[in-house]
Structure 1
Amino acid sequence: MPSATSNDDLSDSSTGVTVKPVVNAVRILRFLTASGSPERASDIARELSINPSTCFNTLRTLVAEEMLDFDPLSKTYTTGLGLAKLVEHLVTQGQRLDVVRPLMQEFAAAHHVTVTLWRRMGNDRIVLVSSETSPGDLRIDMAIGQRLPVLMGASGRLFAARLGLDAERLRAVFDKVRWARPLRFEDYQRQVADASANGWAVDDGYFSTGILAVAAPVDDRTGAIAYAMSAVTFRGQYADAEVAKLGQSLSKAAAKVGNILF
């Protein structure tokens, strides 16, 4: 039998808060995945120190959501097709990102920039999932997994245009962002409108002093923005007209990325 997982393993490190039914469900999924064999509800409850009634209700819910399968003859539970499909989707997404990387590398080399791919995480954060630098040029390195407020950077202008926030709510989110240099809300609104009209956005040193970033949206099949593809370089490397050409080229590249990812 695999060993039980402590509830502390699933605590939110930033708040210390756990939602116990979610914790129990995750622990059950981990247990059955590690076991690899059918298990009875009573054995699962005992091994994980979960109240038998609570464990049974959680198991029934996971079966209803197709995360687990239930054999009525042996009265045992195993991992279900829904869980397999979920894992398969994640693996496939990672494989697709591998296919995207050469395209990002090609763009980075052609335009002497660092190319980054940001994924939207809910309504308030974006996370860096891929980064490629230009060979032979001075590099701007960014750590994979880095998280930023959704309105931050060139990509933030793109997401802001799609979030459907009115001016008051947008201002409330905007005021929480720490900008590298002063930025008036009215100017930010104008930049968001420009991003919406152009199909690409610019951050000229507001995300990081001395850094210019241009971003284009990567839409899913429904037309919703799922990722933002950014070209990052040092300020002063491109004239305004060249920035516009970079944005147009990036938009075409981002459309290709969308075709691969979705």
Structure 2
Amino acid sequence: MTEPADDPRRPGADAGSKTSLQRGIAILRAIAAHGGTGARLTDLARDLGMTPPTVHRLLKALVAEGMIDHDPQGKRYRLGLDLFVLAAQAGSCGTLRDMARPILLRLSATLRETVFLLVRNGFDAICLDRAEGPFPIRSFTGDIGGRVMLGIGQGSLTILAHLPEDEQQEVIRFNLPRMQGMGFLDEVYLRTAIAKVKAQGYSSQHSGLLPGMSGVAVPVFDRQGRAVAALSIGTPTDRLTDERLTVVVDILRREAAGISRQLNPFDPALSRSGVSGSIV
């Protein structure tokens, strides 16, 4: 279907520009409807009933303004980080870090453990915040802003295990070569661990990569049911008995559910294409 051409003779001197603005907004909504996979030019033209040249012209303008990103290899368009930043400034909800800070402090005091909040950033997980417990620990992410490959450590493994299948496979293919030299951690081990986490809904294991340390992590889901973050603790292995594990998991799940209900969907920290450096 071909849309009517803009006609400057129609009532209203700005009718043409207004129509272009409306079409641009329609394109943004159509891209959003395709989810994280993005949309091709032909998909958008079909969905919106516009001609491909018109859609292409508007897409170029939106890319130039940072409202959408273009993957030239996959020929797909996705919502851009600048759009999320603008939306976050208009949103009434606080950022994930601000909103979750009291929860981390409460968990640390209740459990007497160091508590972490991790978010996904591409093929990695970043420590968005942490609350220190009374026991000295070592962690893969280190301090706030530290990053680790998805699949290493309980928090990042939990996020990876709950990703959509296509994204999960993409991460595994990219990260496996990066994991070379990490002892027994190979593809069989990683896929087995992912399957276990997916089945039980949380991650809890002593990987051996940090001697004497263990951890527990649960996913934090957004409104679409996507795992965008993880709430976890790091603790000396001798403190994580089977009986205590059940209690810790229940508490973390309850708090993670509370965080999920308060998530601001426009928080830049929840965007896959967020800043590649430290989030502090």
State TM-score, norm by structure 1: 0.59
User: For structure 1, which runs of at least 5 residues remain unmatched after alignment?
Assistant: 1-56, 68-80
Aligned to 2:89: 88
Equivalent position of 1:239 in the other structure:
241
CA distance in 2, matches of 1:237, 1:164: 34
The one-letter code matched in structure 1 to 2:190 is Y
Separation in structure 2 between the aligned mates of residue 239 and residue 63 of structure 1, nearest angstrom:
52
- In the alignment, the residues of structure 2 paired with residue 207 and residue 119 of structure 1 have an alpha-carbon distance, to the nearest angstrom, of 21
- Which of 1 and 2 has higher RCO (CA within 8 Å, sep 6+)? 2
The letter for the 2-side match of 1:201 is S
Aligned to 1:251: 253
Contact 2:179–2:185 (CA under 8 A) maintained in structure 1: no
Instruction: State the Cα deviation string for residues 37-57 of structure 1 (Å, max 9, x = none).
Output: xxxxxxxxxxxxxxxxxxxx9
Deviations 1:49-89 (A, max 9, x none): xxxxxxxx9xx82698597xxxxxxxxxxxxx968724516
Shift of 1:153: 0.7
User: What is the CA distance between 1:197 and its match in structure 2?
Assistant: 1.8
Query: Max radius of gyration: which structure?
Result: 1
Aligned to 1:176, the other structure's residue is in SS state: helix
Return 5+ residue gaps in structure 2 as ranges. 1-56, 68-81, 265-280
The yes-or-no answer on 1:98 pairing with 2:98 is yes
Give the residue type in structure 2 aligned to 1:254: A
Q: 1:178 and 1:106, CA in 2 relative to 1: closer, same or farther beyond 3 A? A: farther
How many residues align? The count is 188
> Given that residues 126 and 147 in structure 2 are in contact (C-alpha distance below 8 angstroms), is that contact kept between their aligned partners in structure 1?
yes
Q: 1:210 aligns with which of 209, 212, 222?
A: 212
Are the counterparts in 2 of residues 200 and 248 from structure 1 also a CA contact under 8 Å? Answer: no
2:202 to 200, 219, 224: 200
Change (3 A) 1:156 1:258: same
Contact (CA 8 Å) 2:124, 2:156: kept in 1 or not? no
Instruction: Kindly provide the amino acid, as one letter, of the partner of residue 259 in structure 1.
Output: R
Q: CA deviation at 1:182?
A: 3.0
> In the alignment, what sits opposite 2:230?
228
Equivalent AA in structure 1 for residue 219 of structure 2 = P
Residue 170 of structure 1 is matched in structure 2 by 172
Q: In the aligned structure 1, how far is the partner of 2:90 from the partner of 2:217? A: 26
Q: 1:179 to 1:128 in 2, by over 3 A?
A: farther
- Equivalent position SS for 1:98: helix
- After TM superposition, give the deviation of residue 149 of structure 1 in Å: 0.6
In structure 2, the residue matched to 1:114 is 114
Change (3 A) 1:181 1:256: farther
The 2-side partners of 1:163 and 1:207 are apart by 27
Is the Cα–Cα contact under 8 Å of residues 204 and 235 in structure 1 kept in the other structure?
Answer: yes
Q: How far apart in 2 are the matches of 1:169 and 1:139?
A: 28
Q: Is the contact between residue 171 and residue 185 of structure 1 (CA under 8 Å) also seen in structure 2?
A: no
* Mapped partners of 1:148, 1:234: distance in 2: 20
Matches of residues 10-21 of structure 1 in structure 2 within 5 Å? none
What is the root-mean-square deviation of aligned Cα atoms in Å?
Answer: 3.6
**Inter-partner Cα distance in structure 2 for 1:227 and 1:254:** 9
Shift of 1:170: 3.4
Percent sequence identity over matched residues? 22
- Matched with 2:191 is 189
How far the C-alpha of 1:125 sits from its partner, in A, is 1.0
Contact 1:152 1:207 in 2 (8 A): no
2-structure distance, mates of 1:206, 1:169? 22
- Structure 1 residues 112 and 85: CA distance shift in structure 2, 3 A: same
